[in-house]
Structure 1
Amino acid sequence: MDMYIVLAVTLFMMVMFVWHKVPFGVTTMTCCVVLAATGVVDLGAAFGGFANKIVVLIAPMLAISQVLTKTSLVGKISTLLDRIKGAHGLLLVVAFYAVGIIFAQFIPTTAAIAILIVFLNTLSKTGDITANRLLMPLLGVMVAWKFRTPIGLGATTFATLNAMYEGVITDSQFALTMLDPFFFAILPGICLTVYCVLCWKLMPKDGTLDQSALKKNNQADLLPENKQKIVYVVFVVVMLVMILNNWTGNLMYLAPAAGVLVLVYTGCLGVQETVKHMTADMIWMLAGVLVVADALGASGAGDLIGNGLLSVLGHIDNQFIIFLVFSVVTVLMTTFISNMATQTVLIPIAASVALAGGWDPRGLILIIGTCNYFAIAFPSGSGEAAVTFAAGGYNPVKILKFTLPYVLVAIVSCAVSAQFMYPLY
């Protein structure tokens, strides 16, 4: 009976993620309540996700990343763009892409796009390089590298992915390390960046970016210079402890929390804003997903799903085709529902299939964790895509000549990366 309850709860979670009528955290907490009320898991386990070391790691990192926006770092990068805004040719295109990649490591992509639109609008409306031509390719480059490098929130990507399938596959040899998402993303990242550098002219050049399509946000005042230095020092130390996790061990999970405490005691972070960022919807969602994933593994529901899919995929002898199938499914799903919902739904399923087949799951997990960001073909896939389509006034059909090849390059390059780095068997 427990297995069927878990399957029903998982189906409910998937439907609610697609519908997105309520925040994701509300959905996963509902799942936890149902699992506890029906006796599938005990009360402590139902809400034990909040004590998971992954949540302990990620929650304070959200606060640290946010406080970086109150330093002059963003302003200095913006000044650099201002200096080259009068330039022409490939240098200007590459400069915008480079700044976009840097922004994508520290600032939510939606906010970064909003900042860069201001500078894109300073471009000439008559030459080859226009704002409308560069905006969508800029988004394409940013999502190709989003949270891939082991700095900022990218340093927690491996932990987030591990959390979504460790309840299904408990063998530690199949857990991802901090650098796995980065190494995996090198090939697709390079391929997609080169594509955007060479093919931005496929975008229509007419039109002006509509800044009124962006939500108006009050820009926070910068911290005093002495406090900015404290933020930089805390950020660097936290990153070093995480990067050197082979030597620092469990301190990796405590470092962000310790960093936040230093920022609070020194007045760099207010208590209320700290609580706000550390209790964001992402944290509630992640804590709930951990419980559902554990229930999938413990109840046998994961095995049932895995064996069912394996009966279909098991007839395919070519593992590259299997990688392609998961790449295509991930990109299709993320085009119409959110990035996080896509990977939250697909990762436990992929892990169950890998467990049933005796496969190494890491290639499948990394495909899902990477392809779920490639939602640039329609505005429904992510907040940054919605802002980009709104600001550019793009018709999804008319820009397919750019977005469709982009998606194809993403699918194939991710499958190739998995084939060479993390083969199934």
Structure 2
Amino acid sequence: MNMNVQLVITLAVLAFMAVSFMMRKISYGMTGMICMLVLAMTGIVDLPTAFSGFSNKTTILVATMMLVAGSIGKTSLVSVIRGHMSTIQKKSGLLLLLAIFGFTILLTQLIGMTALMSVMVMLVVTLDDTTDLSQSRVFFLIAAINIAWFGRFPVGMGAALPLMQNAYYEGLVESNPEYLLTVFDYMKAGMIPSIVLTLYCLFAWKLIPKTKMDMDAMQQQGGREQASKMTKRQEQIIFVVFIIIMLAFIFSTQLGNLIYLLPIAGCIVLILTKVVSQQEASCILAGDMVFCVAGVLVVSSALNSSGAGQMIGDFVLRLLGSNPSSVMVITVFCVVTVVMTTFLSNNGTVAIMTPIAASTALAGGMNPKAVVLVVVLSSCLAIAFPTGCAASMMAYSIGNHNPVKLLRFTIPYLILGCISVIISASIFYPVYG
């Protein structure tokens, strides 16, 4: 097939993927599979490449870590934290906020956004709604802290997130594995933004309007999080498996490819010991995100082989001008990503922007890891509209908030988030470094 035709088809597939992620009429996994099918049927990629996403170590790691990390939410750990939380609910002011922030940051590293917000809403409704720290204000603050700290530490899904993001552009940097993210990159580049946004929330919470919590929405959400009763032995198995895998990620340099095998072993242990049922495991291991990652890996490979990635990078470079400064490149990708993730899903935004960022960096002789990190960190700032992420959606719906009335809180949050991301990335991951 003519290279120009391959280029056109690949760009059309990329455009379809972007529009589909934006509109969300079909799932991410279905979008990925459609893209893979079109690329294979048109001969852009051969059959082994088309199915390579399913055997890719990143895809398998994401699937297995979703199962292992998800099992933590079934243990009594969350209940223990809730019990400690209840002891400080009679306190007020700064101490109460610090306690709530601390619990939120801890839980954010262990369980997903939806599970965290569902747990915290049960605590929030016990607060005195007649004080300045009303239920709706506190619940929105929890969402803001959740967003600020999500995936920062290499624990639970935070250990798998960087490797999952690699799936979006690893086909472009096959010959340069040093350009891929490692498990500590999020923490290193994201710590400054996390601290800045936490301090902002601590002192600017009165900018959040007081509203009346939507009790119907709260009850519906709370009903979804009925954790199953687990025996002490089952919980011990989960904790042992979890700790071993987390230690493996910490020593990933020494262990090499073994870190991709240990989560598989952990899943097998959880299933054989009946901590997780085979049906539950099948649903998670064949979940939508797994199909999405597998499909995007194929698109990433097609961008490289067809020359589309180079063309996209050259186009963005022309927009940036000749010899753009490191700060300018970081600022452009940060602002564009934040605008996109305000109205679109942060997962969709990352999937769209990551290959574009990596292509631009490669075309301009920059470090792709630096630009990709900016995109990933900026996509987390999804707080100004309900569609950005699960935490925002629940905070707006259950908290009964109006996005327009919240702008006096969310706009400074986004500005500070952008500035701190730009500063942090410039210090630790210079584009031309």
Q: Quick check: 1:327–1:367 contact (8 Å CA) kept in 2? A: yes
How far apart, CA to CA, are the structure 1 residues paired with 2:364 and 2:153? 31
Amino acid at match of 2:190: A
1:176 lines up with 2:181 in the alignment: yes
- Which runs of 5 or more structure 2 residues have no equivalent in the other structure? none
Which residue number in structure 2 is paired with residue 243 of structure 1? 250
1:335 has 2:342 as partner: yes
Q: Distance in 2 between matches of 1:133 and 1:212?
A: 16
Rounded to whole Å, the distance in 1 between the matches of 2:430 and 2:395 is 36
Indicate the percent of aligned positions where both proteins have the same amino acid. Answer: 39
User: Is residue 260 of structure 2 the alignment partner of residue 253 of structure 1?
Assistant: yes
Question: 2:86: which partner in 1?
Answer: 82
* TM-score normalised over the length of structure 1: 0.97
Q: 404-413 or 62-71: which moved more?
A: 62-71
Give unpaired runs (5+ residues) of structure 1: none
Q: Give the 3 Å change call, closer, same or farther, for CA 243–144 of structure 1 in structure 2.
A: same
Within 5 Å, give how 1:98-109 maps onto structure 2.
98-109=102-113
Q: Does 1:162 align with 2:166?
A: yes
CA distance in structure 2 between the partners assigned to 1:329 and 1:296 by the alignment? 21
User: Are the equivalent residues in 2 in contact too, given 1:316–1:322 (CA < 8 A)?
Assistant: no
The match for 1:61 is 65
Q: Is the 8 A contact 2:314 2:363 kept in 1?
A: yes
Matched, 1:346 2:350: no
Q: Does 1:304 align with 2:305?
A: no
Q: Deviations for 1:295-316, whole angstroms, at most 9, x for unmatched residues?
A: 0011100001000111111346
Question: Using a 3 Å threshold, how does the CA distance of structure 1 residues 66 and 349 change in structure 2: closer, same or farther?
Answer: same
Give the deviation of 1:173 after TM superposition. 2.4
Q: Amino acid of the residue matched to residue 402 of structure 2?
A: N
Hey, what's the Cα distance between the residues in 2 that align with 1:19 and 1:316? 35
Is 1:204 matched with 2:205?
no
1:59 shift after superposition:
0.6
Q: Note if contact 2:217-2:397 (Cα within 8 Å) is conserved in structure 1.
A: no
Q: Is residue 375 of structure 1 aligned with residue 382 of structure 2?
A: yes
Question: How many correspondences in the alignment?
Answer: 425
The Cα offsets for residues 220-261 of structure 1, whole Å up to 9 and x where unpaired, read as 322101111111001101111121111111110011110011
- Cα distance in 2, alignment partners of residues 210 and 370 from structure 1: 33
Partner of 1:395: 402
- The whole-number CA distance in structure 2 between the counterparts of 1:241 and 1:210 is 43
| Alpha carbons of structure 1 residues 12 and 208: separation in structure 2 relative to 1, 3 Å | closer
Say if 1:103 and 1:109, in contact at 8 Å, map to a contact too.
Answer: no
Contact conserved, 1:309 with 1:353, CA < 8 A, in 2?
yes
Measure the CA separation in 2 of the matches of 1:240 and 1:193.
28
Aligned to 2:371: 364
Equivalent-residue separation in structure 2 for 1:51 and 1:187 (angstroms): 36
* In 2: Cα distance, 1:263 partner to 1:125 partner: 42
Aligned equivalents of 1:31, 1:208: Cα separation in 2: 41
CA distance in 1, matches of 2:266, 2:421: 35
Return the alpha-carbon distance in structure 2 between the equivalents of residues 288 and 99 of structure 1: 36
The offset of 1:383, in angstroms, is 2.3
2:267 aligned partner, one-letter code: V
Q: Is the 8 A contact 1:6 1:295 kept in 2?
A: yes
Secondary structure at the counterpart of residue 128 of structure 1: coil
In the alignment, the residues of structure 1 paired with residue 225 and residue 99 of structure 2 have an alpha-carbon distance, to the nearest angstrom, of 27
Partner of residue 18, structure 1: 22
Which position in structure 1 is the counterpart of 2:31? 27
More displaced stretch, 43-52 vs 313-322: 313-322
Tell me, in whole angstroms, the C-alpha distance in 1 between the residues paired with 2:224 and 2:261: 32
* Aligned partner letter, 2:76: S
Counterpart CA distance in 2 for 1:57 and 1:325 is: 32
Instruction: Provide the secondary structure at the position in 2 that maps to 1:124.
Output: coil
In structure 1, the residue corresponding to 2:404 is in which secondary structure? coil
CA distance in 2 between partners of 1:275 and 1:207 (Å): 40
Q: TM-score, normalised by structure 2?
A: 0.96
Aligned partners of 1:103, 1:331: CA distance in 2, in Å?
Answer: 25
Q: Comparing 128-137 with 271-280, which one deviates more in the overlay?
A: 128-137
How do 1:204-223 residues align onto structure 2 when only pairs under 5 Å count?
204-213=209-218, 214-215=220-221, 216-217=223-224, 219-223=226-230
Of stretches 286-295 and 392-401 in structure 1, the one that deviates more from structure 2 is 392-401
Partners in 1 of 2:324 and 2:26 — Cα distance?
A: 41
Instruction: Report which stretch shifted further, 178-187 or 167-176.
Output: 167-176
Q: Distance in 1 between matches of 2:151 and 2:397?
A: 24
One-letter identity of the residue aligned with 2:143: L
Match of 1:151, SS? coil
Q: State the secondary structure of the residue aligned to 2:132.
A: coil
Secondary structure class of the residue paired with 2:224: coil
- Equivalent residue of 1:217, what SS? helix
Cα separation, 2, equivalents of 1:29 and 1:206: 42
1:47 is displaced (CA, Å) by 1.5
Cα distance between partner residues in 2 of 1:117 and 1:324: 35
